[in-house]
Chain A
């Protein structure tokens, strides 16, 4: 069998930072560590070492850690170098590693892939790690971290065991003939199913992890020339939308994702809303789309005349710096996108309301696949709760267990294969 190459990568944030952690995983990890540090530290003990390149030039003084496989995060020999976090230092250490035989830079996700392939983590944890790699904001990172740390897996294992216990009770009733001194189902049986189903529903009603990826969706709406595009540009801090004094400038929907105070947002700029009679054909299509966006929005910022926006929209009095500015008596925010006045207050209010609707920091969140599996399991349990034929109750409980198995990858199903070989490109 072909031996895995040894890989390395900076596993802490992009430099410059206080320290930079470089991880090395694979059969040559120990040799690489010895080559740079000049000696092998004791396993699982931090040691202060001097890092030198092959020519003997000193690169940095760093903490080195040595974890012999297979009981490591990746299941392989693993070394860590905690260097000073300057760009030049990191670049030099990486270059020295790349120069060693059998070592190369890790591809995105490769550490996770190895952990998964080496049986260190299950499917839900691997998915969490994959999310972690693509996390753009602090909140996304925290939720992905919770999944990767096994919070979801632990929960599912607990549910699975409880479903199994319920199954065992009903199976015992089924596999005793009515002639024998059989035990009947305990009274709390249905209640226990209901309780389990209830717990699943709580998880299902929680914000999904895609929400973290897609962000809280804020749509800017109002009549032409209300200043929507100008405010949009100010919120995303880039000139993505064209602004002009011509009414009807924006025709299509433009959206951009940004993080504000660590919370992911998607802002959506729309065509100004006006009567079909005034709008030409293309603009009319844009107006239709704008209305569609209003329906999808988590929140609408309404820049039009007071009370004419959709229900629940925030009344914004924009262009406050202009001479012809007409105030809105009950405006939630009065601001000027041009001068920046009032913008800070709007941003922090947005961040606050959005944060409440997203997974809590560190709370495991379900992705679409996991949500689908859990929803099936919840449906099976709900059905079991309503049924009276023990045989069919048993079947529904079995279905719920099967969905739990699929969720954590115990059932070797196609979606596991898909997840594995699609998302992680393993085994090619």
Chain B
């Protein structure tokens, strides 16, 4: 009776996307979490998106995921990061009202067809001859399912640190699931330890906002999900302040009391958002570090000081914040802390995020060594789609490094593993120019529709948009003479000949608006699509060059390496390389080429060996 196709454990960002994605695919799905009221809770900074992360949000949304729409529902501050740079690195980011965000997630989850919510603690996996068969809850209930997705965040061996204090558990106020953890350890999965931290929360009523520089929500109209027609909430200001020398002195004087420096925490933390004590220790020469004071919601006075995550004792935390301009009398509502936790070495997973040695078990989110809501959400989506596709005998959308950041992340994780909490960065994507946050729908929604994970609402939106895109293409192929452009006052030389509009759009100063006499009002029909099409035109020569590279890549992807490929038998590979390759278990020659440390000579040896095995295999058959 308690039989499902897919079970998802954990109601964080990964679990929510996994459960909803599997259900959208049509799999009978259950989401099991400690506390159903906590589903969609943001553990830390109530911000969604940012550099690289904004791309992930848009991609998850393009496959009809939850996070984009929920972010819009909670958004009280919108900002396009990196606006001054090329559009491929723009990072859409919102600050969300914690309560509204969570409510939106729960609304989506509760109304999702095929999805049942189960409150309880997942105690142990049920395995039949080593293969997943279901789940046992702490109260003894058994749920049957051939696929289980673990999205349990930091529950594995989590320890909280604040100064000299220690607490066990994932997040403050939650218990760590011990039995499941023991079971995983027994399965001999490779594990490693990482740390992360959070800043103290401030009482906004005790901040002198008038003394500080304001950072308003931008005055544009974009949203995280194109299905959100407009911005829904009143928008709030953030303020910018800085740490000061006095604060730095306090940090330096108390460095020995930070578990990061006293040796209590040995694990690696994120280089990209270091704790304030790390920053002072590493960049001691800086006069101050910028701190954003971000309101956590419309109905709360809590303020999140972005940039000073710390595990120093509370008295030092107070010194740090009270020496910042505008914060002389600020009150800390909840002190910051650091967490150290175990994660699974993601190289133990196949590219569908399935645990290689426990068929049927998938892992997604922080448990795989990543940090961030968006990273968790994107993995949850992949695991949900893959698990459902496997049960239903269908195919999940074909994601690869050339069509999504999602695939870049999954490929990085499963091939390279992690040495610090993995966070998305645009520089991780080699085909960045084609993977823009604003063209995610063009890249992915069609794949999602084909795979069957996209709802009717988005499908009809997308089809309308595709028709518009087609119309743009027709307009863009129209040829214009430079003479006519020059006559209309555009900055081109009269003798530049006849070119299609798509090429003219590459010229400085030639925009859709400037071409209105020829294009008519199309740009007004959908300004965001018009912007995307103009960028396509501008980047076209680069993309054309990448096409050749991608053909090559596909060719070496065609040479597959069996899951048990004996790297140790390949002559000329050093022991270290054999170890890396064996851990990563690349599925293709192209993937092997991406494994860090593989030399050209080794790669050619691998290529020769793989071909020989293939030839031997064919002869034997």
CB < 8 Å: which of A116, A394, A412 contacts B556?
A412
Q: Is A398 an interface residue (CB 8 A)?
A: yes
In A392-417, the 8 Å CB interface with B consists of 392, 394-395, 398-399, 402, 405, 408-414, 416-417
* Stretch from B135-143, B359-367, B464-472, B597-605 forming part of the interface with A: B597-605
Q: Is B613 an interface residue (CB 8 A)?
A: yes
Which residues of the other chain, B, contact A76 by a CB distance below 8 angstroms?
571
Chain A to chain B contacts (Cβ below 8 Å), 20 pairs: A116-B608, A117-B604, A121-B601, A122-B601, A171-B425, A174-B82, A174-B427, A177-B91, A181-B289, A389-B85, A390-B85, A391-B432, A402-B549, A410-B593, A412-B559, A413-B552, A413-B555, A421-B611, A426-B608, A427-B615
- If the complex has contacts A70-B571, A120-B601, are A395 and B555 also in contact, measured as CB distance less than 8 A? no
Q: Is A119 an interface residue (CB 8 A)?
A: yes
Which residues of the other chain, B, contact A117 by a CB distance below 8 angstroms?
571, 604-605, 608-609
CB < 8 Å: which of A1, A180, A392, A411 contacts B552?
A411
Do the beta carbons of A122 and B604 come within 8 Å of each other? yes
**How many angstroms from the CA of A264 to the CA of B367 in the assembled complex?**
65
Separation in Å of the A352 CB from the closest CB of chain B? 39
Separation in Å of the A11 CB from the closest CB of chain B? 21
Do the beta carbons of B425 and A175 come within 8 Å of each other? yes
**How many angstroms from the CA of A239 to the CA of B430 in the assembled complex?**
60
Tell me the B residues contacting A by CB distance below 8 Å.
50-52, 79, 81-86, 88-89, 91, 215, 286, 289-290, 292, 425-427, 430, 432-433, 542, 545, 549, 551-552, 555-556, 559, 570-573, 589-590, 592-593, 599-609, 611-613, 615-616
Do the beta carbons of B572 and A420 come within 8 Å of each other? no
Separation in Å of the A190 CB from the closest CB of chain B? 17
Which residues of the other chain, A, contact B616 by a CB distance below 8 angstroms?
1-2
**How many angstroms from the CA of A116 to the CA of B572 in the assembled complex?**
9
Do the beta carbons of B608 and A427 come within 8 Å of each other? yes
Do the beta carbons of B542 and A120 come within 8 Å of each other? no
Do the beta carbons of B82 and A1 come within 8 Å of each other? no
Residue of A at shortest CB range from B82?
Answer: A177
- If the complex has contacts A177-B91, A402-B549, A426-B608, are A392 and B599 also in contact, measured as CB distance less than 8 A? no
- If the complex has contacts A1-B616, A181-B290, A389-B86, are A414 and B571 also in contact, measured as CB distance less than 8 A? no
Separation in Å of the B509 CB from the closest CB of chain A? 15
Which residues of the other chain, A, contact B599 by a CB distance below 8 angstroms?
119, 122, 410
Which residues of the other chain, B, contact A123 by a CB distance below 8 angstroms?
600, 604
Query: 11 other contacts beyond A413-B555, A413-B556, with CB at 8 A cut-off?
Result: A126-B604, A174-B426, A177-B82, A181-B289, A181-B290, A391-B89, A394-B432, A411-B552, A412-B552, A426-B611, A427-B615
CB < 8 Å: which of A119, A176, A390, A412 contacts B570?
A119
CB < 8 Å: which of B83, B91, B571, B607 contacts A420?
B607
- If the complex has contacts A414-B555, A426-B608, A427-B612, are A174 and B89 also in contact, measured as CB distance less than 8 A? yes
* A-B pairs, 9 with minimum CB distance: A119-B572, A119-B605, A391-B86, A177-B81, A171-B427, A412-B556, A427-B611, A118-B571, A413-B552
Q: Is A178 an interface residue (CB 8 A)?
A: yes
Do the beta carbons of B607 and A1 come within 8 Å of each other? no
The count of chain A contact residues (Cβ–Cβ below 8 Å) is: 49
In A74-108, the 8 Å CB interface with B consists of 75-76
Residue of B at shortest CB range from A177?
Answer: B81
- If the complex has contacts A177-B50, A180-B290, A391-B89, are A119 and B573 also in contact, measured as CB distance less than 8 A? yes
Residue of A at shortest CB range from B592?
Answer: A412
Do the beta carbons of A408 and B89 come within 8 Å of each other? no
**How many angstroms from the CA of A391 to the CA of B572 in the assembled complex?**
38
**How many angstroms from the CA of A392 to the CA of B559 in the assembled complex?**
32
Residue of A at shortest CB range from B554?
Answer: A414
Which residues of the other chain, A, contact B88 by a CB distance below 8 angstroms?
391
Q: Is A278 an interface residue (CB 8 A)?
A: no
Do the beta carbons of A178 and B83 come within 8 Å of each other? yes
Separation in Å of the B56 CB from the closest CB of chain A? 14
Which residues of the other chain, B, contact A398 by a CB distance below 8 angstroms?
430
Separation in Å of the A254 CB from the closest CB of chain B? 41
Residue of A at shortest CB range from B605?
Answer: A119
**How many angstroms from the CA of A40 to the CA of B84 in the assembled complex?**
72
CB < 8 Å: which of B86, B572, B606 contacts A392?
B86
Which residues of the other chain, A, contact B290 by a CB distance below 8 angstroms?
179-181
**How many angstroms from the CA of A409 to the CA of B607 in the assembled complex?**
11
Residue of B at shortest CB range from A390?
Answer: B85
Which residues of the other chain, B, contact A122 by a CB distance below 8 angstroms?
599-601, 604
**How many angstroms from the CA of A420 to the CA of B549 in the assembled complex?**
19
- If the complex has contacts A413-B556, A427-B612, are A175 and B52 also in contact, measured as CB distance less than 8 A? yes
Which residues of the other chain, A, contact B607 by a CB distance below 8 angstroms?
412, 416-417, 420
Residue of A at shortest CB range from B594?
Answer: A412
**How many angstroms from the CA of A75 to the CA of B542 in the assembled complex?**
41
CB < 8 Å: which of B85, B430, B559, B605 contacts A174?
B85
Q: Is A428 an interface residue (CB 8 A)?
A: yes
- B-contact 0/1 string along A119-142, CB 8 Å cutoff: 111110110000000000000000
**How many angstroms from the CA of A92 to the CA of B89 in the assembled complex?**
71
Which residues of the other chain, B, contact A181 by a CB distance below 8 angstroms?
286, 289-290
Do the beta carbons of A414 and B433 come within 8 Å of each other? no
**How many angstroms from the CA of A173 to the CA of B411 in the assembled complex?**
24
Which residues of the other chain, A, contact B600 by a CB distance below 8 angstroms?
122-123, 153, 405, 408-410
CB < 8 Å: which of B82, B433, B608 contacts A178?
B82
**How many angstroms from the CA of A79 to the CA of B51 in the assembled complex?**
58
**How many angstroms from the CA of A176 to the CA of B290 in the assembled complex?**
13
Do the beta carbons of A414 and B51 come within 8 Å of each other? no
Do the beta carbons of A116 and B85 come within 8 Å of each other? no
Separation in Å of the B328 CB from the closest CB of chain A? 23
Do the beta carbons of A410 and B603 come within 8 Å of each other? yes
Do the beta carbons of A392 and B573 come within 8 Å of each other? no
In A173-221, the 8 Å CB interface with B consists of 174-181
Do the beta carbons of A412 and B601 come within 8 Å of each other? no
**How many angstroms from the CA of A392 to the CA of B82 in the assembled complex?**
15
Which residues of the other chain, B, contact A411 by a CB distance below 8 angstroms?
552, 593
Separation in Å of the A117 CB from the closest CB of chain B? 4
Separation in Å of the B92 CB from the closest CB of chain A? 11
Residue of A at shortest CB range from B89?
Answer: A174
Which residues of the other chain, B, contact A428 by a CB distance below 8 angstroms?
615
**How many angstroms from the CA of A427 to the CA of B608 in the assembled complex?**
6
Do the beta carbons of A1 and B572 come within 8 Å of each other? no
Residue of B at shortest CB range from A121?
Answer: B601
- If the complex has contacts A122-B599, A175-B425, A410-B600, are A390 and B86 also in contact, measured as CB distance less than 8 A? yes
In A1-16, the 8 Å CB interface with B consists of 1-2
**How many angstroms from the CA of A389 to the CA of B539 in the assembled complex?**
12
**How many angstroms from the CA of A75 to the CA of B605 in the assembled complex?**
11
Separation in Å of the B570 CB from the closest CB of chain A? 7
Do the beta carbons of A119 and B571 come within 8 Å of each other? yes
Which residues of the other chain, A, contact B552 by a CB distance below 8 angstroms?
411-414
**How many angstroms from the CA of A389 to the CA of B555 in the assembled complex?**
32
Which residues of the other chain, B, contact A75 by a CB distance below 8 angstroms?
571-572, 605
Which residues of the other chain, B, contact A180 by a CB distance below 8 angstroms?
290
Residue of B at shortest CB range from A178?
Answer: B84
Interface centre among A177, A408, A412, by most B CB within 10 Å? A412
